[in-house]
């Protein structure tokens, strides 16, 4: 098999999926510290970033911030070619080495606006967006989509072939249709027709939660790499762990005990600093919950932390909350 070259250098072909409300700059920084091939920002609506006032941090501006991890991509979404082009230029100007177009989000509010995976029902509009974004920036442009709209419209290979001709340098395919949302199991084998349709790299996405599932996804899809989403929640070291087992990179030191509490406390403080104390307290709660769940920590303290409004009390309770519980089965 001919080796397919990634559009920017990657330490390993293991990517962090764009997840709305999750893959903000603080989380990407924590994941990048352990090691990752590629970090992708939250999806950002093109209209929001274009119309946002630059003197005030908005949610969309926060999503687009790059940080210091070299292999970072900013994902944009929309249905208006001119706004998508402007958003891509803004992302490039902010330092993004790569821009990703979202054609995979299944959320009703996104699809209802004819964006995200709704574009798979309108390939001509999708290609106009691709043309506009590719023409607007000098950095590589990539595309993330699903297998199709539903079982009757599995058109990812056809769209990918046209998008490659228009200048797309890499694809990420989630192994479900839009109609499935996140139900059932991702069909990694169904990604293979996309791999065979294009000459650029394809990344397999969906239900990749460890090295075993990553290896299976690669074998069944023939993809050049994998993308990890929900599996990294509460386990920011997971990408580095998968990369070490599949590609021989340095294995991360997985924190536990006091080291885990220190990591979570640092991530918590990064969130508060990034968003401000009021919004930060709310944003941080889901991350605290995932950390505690992954550590099999205290359910009682987890419930308390989800309501706690004092950052000082949260930090004081973290070591106890993260201590594994040994309840009898």
Q: What are the catalytic residues?
A: 105
Return d(Cα 260, Cα 298) in angstroms, integer. Answer: 14
Cβ atoms of 64 and 44 closer than 8 Å: yes
Strand 72-77 vs strand 38-45: parallel, antiparallel, or unpaired?
Answer: parallel
Residue among 291, 278, 328 nearest 302 (CA): 291
Residue 250, class by beta-carbon neighbours within 10 Å (0-12 exposed, 13-18 middle, 19+ buried)?
exposed
Cβ atoms of 146 and 156 closer than 8 Å: yes
Q: Cα separations (Å) of 318 from 223, 261, 278, 294, 298?
A: 40, 6, 19, 14, 10
DSSP 266-277: HHHHHHHHHH-H
How is residue 12 annotated by DSSP?
Answer: S
| Total Cβ atoms within 10 A of residue 248 | 9
Return d(Cα 114, Cα 102) in angstroms, integer. Answer: 12
Cβ atoms of 294 and 234 closer than 8 Å: yes
The first and second tokens of residue 62, run together, are 């926060």
Terminal alpha carbon distance of the chain: 49
Bridge partners (DSSP) listed for residue 150:
153
Task: Match 């999926």 to its residue by tokens.
Answer: 17
């Amino acid at each position: 098999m001919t080796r397919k070259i990634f559009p920017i250098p990657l330490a390993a072909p293991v990517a962090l999926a764009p997840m709305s409300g999750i893959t903000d700059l603080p989380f990407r920084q924590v994941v990048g510290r352990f090691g990752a091939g590629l970090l992708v920002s939250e999806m950002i609506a093109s209209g929001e970033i274009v119309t946002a006032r630059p003197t005030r941090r908005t949610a969309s501006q926060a999503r687009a911030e790059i940080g210091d991890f070299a292999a970072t991509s900013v994902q944009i979404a929309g249905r208006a070619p001119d706004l998508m082009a402007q958003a891509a230029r803004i992302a490039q100007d902010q330092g993004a080495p790569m821009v990703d177009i979202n054609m995979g989000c299944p959320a009703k509010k996104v699809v209802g606006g004819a964006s995200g995976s709704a574009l798979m029902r309108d390939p001509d509009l999708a290609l106009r967006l691709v043309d506009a974004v590719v023409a607007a920036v000098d950095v590589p442009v990539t595309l993330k989509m699903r297998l199709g709209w539903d079982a009757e419209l599995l058109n990812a290979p056809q769209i990918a072939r046209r998008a490659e001709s228009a200048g797309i340098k890499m694809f990420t395919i989630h192994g479900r249709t839009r109609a499935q949302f996140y139900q059932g199991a991702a069909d990694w084998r169904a990604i293979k027709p996309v791999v065979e349709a294009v000459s650029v790299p394809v990344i397999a996405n969906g239900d990749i939660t460890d090295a075993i599932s990553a290896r299976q996804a690669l074998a069944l899809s023939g993809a050049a790499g994998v993308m990890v989403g929900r599996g990294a929640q509460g386990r920011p070291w997971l990408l580095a762990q998968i990369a070490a087992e599949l590609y021989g990179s340095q294995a991360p030191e997985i924190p536990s005990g006091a080291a885990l509490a220190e990591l979570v406390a640092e991530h918590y403080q990064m969130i508060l600093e990034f968003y401000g104390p009021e919004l930060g307290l709310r944003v941080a709660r889901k991350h605290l919950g995932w950390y505690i769940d992954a550590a099999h920590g205290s359910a009682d303290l987890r419930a308390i932390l989800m309501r706690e409004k004092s950052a000082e009390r949260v930090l004081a309770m973290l070591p106890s909350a993260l201590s594994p519980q040994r309840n009898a089965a």
